[in-house]
Structure 1
Amino acid sequence: MMERGRKNQKCSSFCNPSMPGATAAATSISGGGDGGGGAYGGDVNAGILDETVLMLVFRSLNWDPHVICVAACVSRRLRAVARRVLFRELCISRAPRMVSALTSGGVAPAGRLGGGWHALAKLLFFCCGCAAPTRFFTPDRAAPGHFVGASRFSKTSGRSFLARRCWGDLLFVSDPCEHPAAGRGGGEDLGAYRGVFRGFMRSRTRAWLIGKQAELETKVRCPYCGARVWSMTAAGLVPRSASKRLGSHEGSLEYFVCVNGHLHGYCWLAHLSTDDDDEEDDGDDTGDDGKHNEEDAERNVEF
């Protein structure tokens, strides 16, 4: 049963937090709402439901995200513990410096991230693909989401996705995940990428979107937390440096940012020749201001 669960790449533990029962489960596991005993009273959390036992078990498994997903599918209580504890430890274990940057400076009170730790864990290990066409990006066919074996997140890359007026923000963005596009002319593949803002509620990006009364999308939701999103293309906040960073032609990309600060987007990736590869290797890794960011925290997140 565990093996079948490992192969199921769309486990419900990585689902919209608004799913039926999720709120009730979180209330129950935290000891509220039932009027008696609570989660820590009596033998409610004895044995495998004891958080200390769960921590030891999953630490011995090196916080395998597939196994955590399977465990979260077993019951509401386990799902609530996974969302509150296990996914947090997974993120800290696999991307410690990135998590430290996202939570430092009091931007995550009591260690709480916008959208929850399960959303960040999904963002680290799951490529959302491209399920349907959007206003500014029309693939020939849908690209399904999938777990990824390794991902590289970089705040230098993230800076390339910030308009000049928003350079004070800290954004981590992954390298694009390549999906072959059947029937696409010019030898281009579909690229899907994702990222996360540090302290999005206090960010310049959010302040600009709110100040300009940018409209939230009606047909697109964040694939990581289920929240509503802004199209950065529609808002006019896509800098030219984003296309350069992705290796895509200008105007051949779109990305969204949700109200919790998660970014996801798509682009067309041109196949590089050998000469193109040499040029990329010789080029400077700079932002729009021409200054190399020596404090880049590029990390490989692996299973």
Structure 2
Amino acid sequence: MFKKSLLLFIALTLISCHATKSPIVTTKKGGAKNTYSQKNKKTKSRNEVIQSTSRTSVTNDIVNNYVSQYKDIAMSNMKTYGIPASIILAQGILESGAGRGDLAVSANNHFGIKCHSDWTGDTVNHDDDSSQECFRKYNKVSESYRDHALFLTGKGRYASLFELDKDDYRAWAKGLRNAGYATDSQYPDKLISYIERYNLGQYDAQVLGRNYVPVENQNRRIVARDSRNDTFYEVQKGDTLYSISKKYNVLVDDLKQKNKLSDSSTLFVGQKLKIN
């Protein structure tokens, strides 16, 4: 009787051990497949974080879809109000996190416009420069786009913008920052980066009836690799470290380190920067 009980105990123990080992092997295989899948997704569409009134992670596809969805409204507003469509779209991308930011989702506010004393519509509170600031709320996104145009045309501090050429998006980007639209010192660089990476200038050209030359063909070039196989970029007028970093998907800090630049360094036209 004792021997039978002992044999039964050993058999049950072996079965139990086999049962506990199987899920571990399956989990490892499943984990490996998931990791590989995530790597493949990253190569297809690069992630980036848009920081404005909220911190939003988006992909290139999300930004492209945003542009496709609102380009017609932007061009219509350019015709009616004289604001470059490229600037409208770039601000929309930045301020709304390409439509995925908190204010865009909860209030259809795609331009981060705060209440101000003259606003009589619906409002929503949201943390920004200060805690729980008052922002405008709209019933639909098109209302936000129209209010953005009325905001710029109706405020005296933006009057100088409308003296600029309609296709000079660089001057408009800098002018918005100088007029106080945003407190972020990199605001112009961010707008310019979106305009150039997503070729938003083509919508200005459509409204103005001009031929559009893609940014990569506008005298922007990579200098041939040197004997050590290093790649260099030749700085063009209006370039910044931020815009170059976004164009070639490198970090600003890496550009500084590779080219021995400090925070106070100034780029000059014709300067050759090591990219990789």
TM-score range, shorter chain: under 0.3
- Structure number with the higher strand fraction is 1
Tell me the TM-score normalised to structure 2 length.
0.27
Tell me the TM-score normalised to structure 1 length.
0.25
State which structure, 1 or 2, has the greater radius of gyration over its C-alpha atoms: 2
- Structure number with the higher helix fraction is 2
